[in-house]
């Protein structure tokens, strides 16, 4: 036979089974939609940020900045040095810092996470790029005046002439008057830019001796590269770049930040595709099994094995193409919806037109088509070996084929995986987590291979619980579920993967919340905790305000110190403490004293053991400005996740931290004996009200706040994983629908001998329930084991308590049963409508 008739047979077969085609295409659509949506969303953000930062160095030939990000900056004296060099036309210092703007209602203006930046305004004759375009009023001309960008003014409902306040970490509340409102070229989301006079910006955000950077414009006598080299030679120890290099660096940083988001979204897209792969594979396996006589008939009338195989592969190719094209369209809609949802949540994201690149289309098409064709490869090979004589008789669907080889392979992989997981769970760090990951992969492969053999005993046990109450109908459903273990396992495996990942995340979340609770319960002795925005902290003035409250005995503030320890190449985060630490935190000093004044240092036991430190040892600390201070170790404390690896004095903190970056991470407040807790709390709230960003919490509320942050992250992960679970549910629907077609004659016989339609439906419902619960049980067991092992490897990161969310586990188990029944509604109704006589004589 020629290839053309076979092609017609394949295409007409697809057209003749529209429901089967739709179900198969849908699994491809969902997987490719997630990948397309991920690319479109992140490409859109990338393009928008590129447009925003594309002119970050507009008019700048050379920029001079500090070597290390977060350092004090460039000495003011370097400005005169640069201006005295050949080829320099003029310079413009950059002075900036973080702050909070109060709106017309006296509350902090919310930006949805976008930055609020204070800047020094420079007149047009000193500005290197395009000057700000004012749409109302004018620039600040005196200290106490500010100008706002349009977005900031709208968010705060502020207008020219309005009086308000700004909160800075160094000086607390500063009264200001709005002098003008200026426009920006692109929509920067929730970003707020506050312009001050140069003198006030310097007082608020610098130590008076440094600026963040110096922008330089050349006079045209030399290239930017030559001017850069000249300035670098005159200012050794600084970072000197051309304007083009600055722009590329900023774009690279944005791209790197967005790449994590892209990888994150693509990982869930890959999960969805993996789940969809099993559904597609299962679908084509069943289609080939059902069409065994049809394919054998083709062989009997002259079709070659290769032609039969090509017909099945062609069907898969068509399904892959249709699914991928629809998936691309759905992905664009998904990206649009995701952006709309994030904007509705006011996350401060900039907006721009959606970007659909050729790379996105090509990747989605390749992935969707390749996954579908590869999934159909094994069924196509089986179709190629259909003997022509099979057209003359009923053919088994393969349910009774030997499972010995694949079961043995599964057992071997399972033993190896269990050993690796057990070994990895005994350690901590990246190596241990990688070992657990390899072991987890081996166990997943083991379940994939051994699931058919495992399904029979497990489904029989489940049948004894769920099917027995239904008598003969339940027994028939249990028999149907175990009759073709390969199909049952493949159907359940999609749900197994989804629930496995959900339960792993559940264990992580429960363990994280339990660990935080234990850390606060066992570590914090203060009655109240004061906190601010995570990326901003609290101004130092909060500490003095809290000390003046009646009933307060001790106020301890914790600050982050960044330094290189000893000969280390990388900077580390330590803690500086003001006040008596042991009055607020349960710190166990195992050697020496707790003194941290001047150039003194406390180190944790793990740091002391790693570096061989004891009281009296001298450890050099190097700041981001390159300043080195020899500190004396005064004591060693038991490892404490609240405090970190080392503690130094407030004096060293101020020496190592630029003025504009100083803030308290948290303030712990202890009360006097017998003090009324409610009265103290009211006093703290009243005293800190002026700072608008301060939250006053007791220990239980503080634990609840941490748990809420964990729950928000879990909600995002669960939302993304929901796609995999939806695909798994569709897989159950698909399998049952095809199973009804396969058993059409059997169902017709049962109807002919007296089975009622309700009983037929009930049989399908129970069968689906058993398959879903089997997949859920296996997935939950795997997820709990993997979650336990991974959490153990993170013990050194603070996850030192393992917790299992048993309520969630039970809910997922019950939910899986409900899902199984719901998934069977349409196939059950379809089965019940099978005409008895037509089904019996159908060939």
| DSSP-derived pairing of the beta strands 528-531 and 666-671 | antiparallel
- CA–CA distance, 138 with 146 (Å, rounded to integer): 9
Burial 391-422 (b: 16+ CB within 10 A, else e): beeebebeeeeebeebbeebeebbebbeebbe
* CA dist list (Å): 74 to 11, 195, 203, 729, 731: 71, 21, 16, 60, 62
H or E segment and range at residue 372:
helix 358-375
Taking the C-alpha atoms of residue 53 and residue 250, their distance in angstroms, rounded to an integer, is: 7
Q: Which residues contact 73 (CB under 8 A, 6 or more apart)?
A: 65, 66, 206, 210, 211, 212, 213, 658
Reported as type and span, the H/E element at residue 242 is: strand 238-242
3-state SS, 660-675, equals HHCCECEEEEEECCCC
Contact in structure between 652 and 575 (CB atoms under 8 Å): no
pLDDT computed for residue 59 by the predictor: 82
Between residues 108 and 32, the one the model is more confident about: 108
List, in sequence order, every residue forming a beta bridge with 167; answer none if it has no partner: 100, 173
Phi/psi at 80 (5° precision): -65, -35
Contact 311, 376 (CB under 8 A): no
Q: What is d(CA 775, CA 724) in angstroms, rounded to the nearest whole number?
A: 14
State what percent of residues in the chain have pLDDT above 90.
37
CA–CA gap between residue 605 and residue 645 (Å, rounded): 8
* 562: nearest Cα among 486, 625, 502: 625
Please tell me whether residue 519 adopts helix, strand or coil conformation: helix
Q: Name which of 182, 100, 103, 186 is nearest 138 in CA terms.
A: 182
Q: How confident is the model at residue 2 (pLDDT cuts 50, 70, 90)?
A: very low
Give residue 308's pLDDT: 77
* Two tokens, residue 405: 């080889």
Per-residue pLDDT at 840 = 65
Q: Where are the domains of the chain?
A: 96-205, 455-524+697-843, 533-693
Average pLDDT, the chain: 85
In this prediction, residue 100 has a pLDDT band, given cuts at 50, 70 and 90, of: very high
Q: What is the total residue count of the chain?
A: 843
With respect to CATH, is domain 96-205 assigned 2.60.40? no
Q: What's residue 377's pLDDT?
A: 78
Half-sphere exposure for 627 (CA within 13 Å, toward CB) = 14
Ramachandran quadrant class, 147 (left: phi over 0; alpha: psi -120 to 50; beta: rest): beta
Phi-psi region of 464 (alpha: psi -120 to 50; beta: other; left: phi over 0): alpha
Task: Say yes or no to pLDDT of 94 above 70.
Answer: yes
Q: What global pTM score does this model have?
A: 0.78
Q: pLDDT tens-digit profile of 709-760? A: 888 888 878 877 777 777 777 777 777 777 776 677 777 888 888 888 888 8
pLDDT of 350 reads: 65
DSSP, collapsed to helix, strand or coil, labels residue 90 as: strand
Residues with Cβ < 8 Å from 423, sequence gap 6 or more? 435, 439
pLDDT band at 401 (very low <50, low <70, confident <90, very high): low
Cα 486 from Cα 319, distance rounded (Å): 23
* Other CB atoms within 10 A of residue 263 CB: 11
pLDDT digits (tens, 9 = 90+) for 671-682: 998 899 999 999
DSSP letters for 347-369: -----------HHHHHHHHHHHH
Instruction: Give the separation between CA 419 and CA 413, rounded to whole angstroms.
Output: 10
Tokens (6 digits) for 180: 């003008």
pLDDT by residue (tens digit) across 440-466?
999 999 998 998 999 989 999 998 888
3-state helix vs strand vs coil in the chain, percent to 5? 60, 15, 25
Report residue 190's pLDDT band, with 50, 70 and 90 as the boundaries. confident
φ, ψ dihedrals at 636, nearest 5°: -125, 130
Distance of alpha carbon 306 from its chain centroid, rounded? 46
Is it the case that residue 290 has pLDDT exceeding 70? no
Q: CA-to-CA distance for 769 and 449, rounded, in angstroms?
A: 22
At 604-619, the pLDDT tens digits run 999 999 999 999 999 9
Q: Which residue has the higher pLDDT, 550 or 253?
A: 550
Sign of CA dihedral 816, 821, 824, 826: negative
pLDDT of residue 843: 44
C-alpha 190/C-alpha 179 separation (Å) is 21
CA distance 43 to 258: 9
pLDDT digits (tens, 9 = 90+) for 46-72: 777 776 666 677 789 999 999 888 888
Q: How confident is the model at residue 563, as a pLDDT?
A: 93
pLDDT at 87: 92
């Amino acid at each position: 036979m020629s290839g053309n008739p076979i092609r017609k047979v394949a295409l007409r077969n697809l057209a003749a089974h529209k429901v089967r085609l739709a179900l198969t295409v849908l699994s491809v659509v969902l997987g490719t939609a997630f990948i397309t949506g991920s690319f479109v969303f992140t490409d859109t953000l990338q393009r928008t940020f590129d447009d925003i930062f594309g002119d970050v160095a507009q008019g700048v030939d050379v920029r001079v900045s500090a070597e290390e990000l977060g350092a004090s900056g460039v000495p003011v004296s370097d400005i005169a040095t640069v201006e005295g060099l050949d080829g320099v036309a003029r310079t413009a210092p950059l002075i900036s810092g973080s702050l909070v703007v109060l709106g017309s209602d006296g509350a902090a203006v919310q930006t949805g996470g976008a930055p609020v930046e204070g800047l020094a305004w420079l007149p047009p004759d000193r500005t290197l790029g395009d000057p700000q375009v004012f749409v109302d009023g004018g620039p600040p001309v005196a200290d106490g005046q500010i100008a706002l960008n349009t977005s900031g003014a709208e968010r705060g409902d502020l207008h020219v002439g309005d009086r308000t306040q700004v909160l800075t970490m160094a000086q607390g509340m500063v009264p200001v008057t709005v002098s003008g409102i200026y426009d920006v070229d692109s929509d920067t989301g929730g970003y707020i830019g506050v312009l001050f006079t140069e003198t006030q910006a310097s007082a608020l955000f610098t130590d008076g001796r440094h600026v963040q950077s110096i922008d330089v414009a050349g006079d045209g006598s030399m290239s930017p590269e030559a001017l850069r080299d000249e300035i670098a030679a005159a200012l050794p120890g600084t970072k000197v770049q051309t304007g083009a290099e600055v722009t590329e660096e900023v774009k690279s940083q944005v791209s790197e930040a967005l790449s994590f988001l892209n990888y994150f979204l693509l990982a869930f897209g890959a999960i969805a595709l993996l789940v969809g792969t099993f559904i597609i594979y299962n679908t084509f396996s069943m289609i080939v099994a059902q069409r065994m006589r049809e394919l054998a008939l083709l062989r009997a009338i002259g079709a070659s094995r290769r032609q039969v195989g090509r017909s099945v592969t062609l069907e898969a190719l068509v399904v892959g193409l249709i699914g991928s094209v629809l998936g691309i369209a759905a992905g664009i809609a998904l990206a649009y919806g995701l952006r709309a949802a994030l904007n509705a949540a006011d996350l401060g994201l900039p907006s721009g037109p959606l970007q659909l690149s050729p790379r996105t289309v090509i990747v989605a098409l390749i992935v969707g088509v390749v996954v579908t064709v590869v999934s159909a490869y094994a069924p196509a090979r089986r179709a190629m070996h259909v003997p022509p004589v099979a057209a003359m008789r009923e053919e088994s669907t393969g349910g009774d084929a030997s499972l010995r080889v694949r079961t043995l392979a599964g057992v071997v992989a399972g033993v190896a995986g269990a050993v690796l997981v057990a070994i990895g769970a005994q350690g901590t760090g990246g190596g241990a987590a990688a070992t657990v990951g390899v072991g987890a992969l081996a166990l997943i492969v083991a379940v994939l291979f051994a699931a058919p053999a495992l399904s029979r005993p497990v489904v029989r046990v489940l049948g004894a619980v769920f099917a027995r109450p239904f008598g003969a109908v339940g027994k028939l459903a249990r028999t149907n579920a175990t009759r073709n273990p390969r199909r049952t396992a493949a159907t359940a495996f999609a749900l197994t993967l989804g629930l496995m990942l959900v339960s792993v995340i559940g264990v992580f979340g429960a363990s994280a919340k339990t660990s935080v609770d234990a850390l606060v319960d066992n570590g914090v002795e203060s009655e109240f905790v004061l906190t601010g925005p995570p990326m901003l902290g609290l101004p130092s003035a909060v500490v003095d305000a809290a000390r003046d409250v009646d009933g307060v005995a001790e106020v301890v503030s914790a600050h982050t110190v960044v330094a290189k320890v000893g000969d280390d190449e990388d900077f580390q985060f330590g803690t500086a403490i003001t006040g008596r630490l042991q009055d607020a935190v349960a710190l166990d000093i195992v050697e020496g004293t707790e003194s941290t004044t001047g150039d003194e240092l406390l180190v944790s036991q793990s740091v002391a053991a790693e570096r061989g430190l004891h009281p009296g040892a001298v450890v050099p600390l190097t700041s981001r400005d390159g300043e080195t201070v020899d500190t004396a170790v005064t004591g060693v404390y038991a490892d404490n996740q609240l405090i970190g690896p080392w503690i130094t004095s407030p004096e060293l903190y101020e020496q190592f931290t630029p003025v504009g970056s100083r803030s308290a991470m948290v303030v712990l407040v202890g009360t006097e004996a017998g003090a009324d807790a409610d009265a103290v709390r009211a006093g703290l709230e009243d005293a800190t009200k002026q700072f608008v960003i301060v939250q006053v919490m007791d220990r239980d509320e503080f634990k609840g706040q941490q748990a809420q942050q964990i729950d928000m992250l879990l909600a995002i992960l669960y939302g993304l994983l929901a796609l995999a679970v939806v695909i798994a549910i569709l897989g159950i629907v698909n399998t049952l629908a095809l199973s009804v077609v396969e058993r059409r004659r059997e169902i017709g016989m049962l109807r002919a001998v007296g089975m009622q339609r309700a009983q037929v439906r009930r049989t399908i419902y129970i069968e689906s329930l058993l398959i879903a619960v089997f997949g859920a049980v296996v997935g939950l067991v795997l997820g709990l084991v993997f979650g336990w092992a991974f959490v153990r490897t993170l013990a050194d990161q603070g996850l030192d308590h393992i917790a299992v969310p048993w309520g969630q586990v039970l809910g997922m188990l019950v939910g899986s049963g409900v899902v199984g029944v719901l998934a069977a509604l349409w196939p059950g109704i379809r089965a019940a409508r099978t005409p008895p006589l037509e089904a019996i004589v159908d060939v």
